[in-house]
Amino acid sequence: MIKKLLLLSITLLLVNCGSSSKGNTASQMKEATTIDPTEYATTITSDELKEMLYTYASDEFEGRDTGEKGQKMAVEYLKNQYKSMGIATPLGNDDYFQEVPLEKQSVAEAKISVNETSFKSFEDHIVLRSPGNVSISEGEIVYMGYGIDADNYSDYKDINVKGKIVLAKAGEPKDAEGNYVTSGKPENTKWSYGRQSISSKRDAARDHGAKGLIYMDNDLFLRYASYFQRLASAGIPGRLSLKSNEPEMMMLMVNENLGKAIYNTILTDNEQKLIKTKIELSIENKSEIVASENVVAYIEGSEKPDEFVVISAHLDHEGIKNGEIYNGADDDGSGTVALVEIAEAFKTAEKVGHGPKRSILFLHVTGEEKGLLGSRHYTDNDPIFPLENTVANLNIDMIGRTDPKREEGDRNYVYLIGSDKLSTELHNISEAVNAKCCNIELDYTYNDDNDPNRFYYRSDHYNFAKNNIPVIFYFNGTHDDYHKPSDTPDKIEYDLLENRARLVFHTAWELANRKERIKVDKAFAETKLMGQ
């Protein structure tokens, strides 16, 4: 009851007190929506959603695992949907696929001998990165102490490491008061400790043109070595990751035993110098390139074609495991077919001259289950449209079911996550549009910064939000079939799927047609969980 009351009060607030932004929202909505989108929203039907989902989440699609046959079928299916609706691709030439180059990292093994003494994989060294097969026979290694390159403290100041192998060690010097030299504070810095120090020191060596980094960190080595050995011995294919654009640099982690063999006073000496150590090193790289694709289609805006609303859903799922197909009907088959229907509704409007004023990109991303890879590739490597011209991202991931943990409230609900985190206006619009068109119970349970589930960071909108693009994540919560082979089309509640898809359509309609582009009045903040 309270919620409705609150809703009522917001609407009243919108209409009566006319506080500047809220008043604006309502009046601009009135103006922008002289064309009533309802007739287009009604083209989004549970029958069509059902028909598509029974195909898209059928066994034939083999659970749509990224890079696998099922995922290829999924992108072909989506391309054909857009072609048949006459919706164009922003890439031109009938090309609906944005390539997403991935890499399956397998644990590489190195053979190392120092001054004719050989050292074993996983006992003394592990390969963290290897740009293909490597073979090095060096008489010269540059010892860089801690290998730090900060503005106020740099080990790279007076020495040239271009084309050399750098040897560096974990840690960071402290001043007399016990503060780290780069920060002047006692707390750990990005150089002093842990995984972060590895990537910081890797970037420093690479940025100075080194061809390889041998990094001694005894603590981390003990933690990593057993894990890498398990992966290698079990022949577990490595994790899929985005193929890096950066030229790869060879990187080894070694323990103290090997560190001292390369440079015997490494623990006590911090001074940079060339060291004369004969090192024989060869690495066989087993990583493989995996081709994957995002599917992109768009409708160009009639008045502000250079402003974009991005509506997204992920096209992939878990594939086949232990011979069982993970159909992923809710995750994220529901979002996928909803996105297709939403596109159709906008196209139907455009055909009668009611096309959107701003451009709309329909973005089906791959590799979500592997770490938000497709959306990260879009935002970090290859944004088809400038991020600064991207007005908002509406991301749909799992909207076909209900959350059994949600004991109270109307079944006609949806969890909204992120709507008020970057733009107050977006939140108000979302509320007002829903009050006008759909009257779905908008549940903000998972929108809490301290929510332990951290759903705000767990789907593709995150990559837009981190770029300060206002987002709304539409989600129904997890359920008993979440990430199970039993997440099948027969379990979907198609009436709710229809309602939620229509809400996303109406919200996108308002964002695409309103006079003013919504304002970003808050900056993206990554909140750490208590004790994290």
Return all residues near 445 (Cβ < 8 A) that are at least 6 apart.
406, 415, 451
The minimum distance between CB 145 and Zn ion, in angstroms, equals: 45
**How many other C-beta atoms can be found within 10 angstroms of the C-beta atom of residue 436?**
15
Find the part of the chain contacting Zn ion (CB under 5 A) among 257-265, 396-404, 412-420, 463-471: 396-404
Q: Which of 62, 155, 293, 332 touches Zn ion by CB under 5 A?
A: 332
Q: How far is the CB of 104 from Zn ion (least distance, A)?
A: 21
Q: Which stretch binds Zn ion (CB under 5 A): 104-112, 304-312, 325-333, 433-441?
A: 325-333
CA dist 429 and 247 (Å) reads 44
Spatial neighbors of 91 by CB under 8 A, at least 6 apart, are 97, 98, 296, 384
Preceding peptide of 124 cis, ω within 30°: no
The DSSP call for residue 131 is: S
Stretch that binds Zn ion, among 63-71, 100-108, 326-334, 486-494 (CB under 5 A): 326-334
304-314 and 358-365: which strand pairing? Answer: parallel
Binding mask 29-58 for Zn ion (x = CB under 5 A): ------------------------------
Q: Is-contact 225 126, C-beta < 8 A?
A: yes
Site residues for Zn ion, window 335-394 (CB under 5 A)?
none
DSSP collapsed to 3 states, 53-92: HHHHCCHHHHHHECCCHHHHHHHHHHHHHHHHHCCECCCC
What's phi and psi for 274, nearest 5 deg? -75, 135
Spatial contact of 32 and 468, defined as CB atoms under 8 Å apart: no
CB 214 within 8 A of CB 167: yes
Q: Give me the least distance between CB of 364 and Zn ion, in Å please.
A: 12
Q: Would you give the end-to-end CA distance of the chain in angstroms?
A: 36
Of 110-118, 190-198, 255-263, 327-335, which part binds Zn ion (CB under 5 A)?
Answer: 327-335
Of 263 and 326, which CB lies nearer to Zn ion in the complex structure? 326
In whole angstroms, the minimum distance from the beta carbon of 52 to Zn ion comes to: 17
Judged by CB under 5 A, how many residues of this single chain contact Zn ion? 3
Least gap, CB of 333 to Zn ion (angstroms): 10
User: Does residue 403 interact with Zn ion by CB under 5 A?
Assistant: no
Applying CB under 5 A, which of residues 397, 443, 460, 481 lies at the interface with Zn ion? 397
Do residues 167 and 262 lie in contact, with contact meaning Cβ atoms separated by under 8 Å? yes
316 binds Zn ion (CB under 5 A): no
In the complex, least distance from residue 331 CB atom to Zn ion, rounded to whole angstroms: 4
Residue 331 interacts with Zn ion (CB under 5 A)?
A: yes
Q: Are 318 and 369 in contact (CB under 8 A)?
A: yes
Binding track over 512-531 against Zn ion, x by CB under 5 A: --------------------
CB of 440 to Zn ion, least distance (A): 20
Binding residues for Zn ion, rule: CB under 5 A, are 331-332, 397
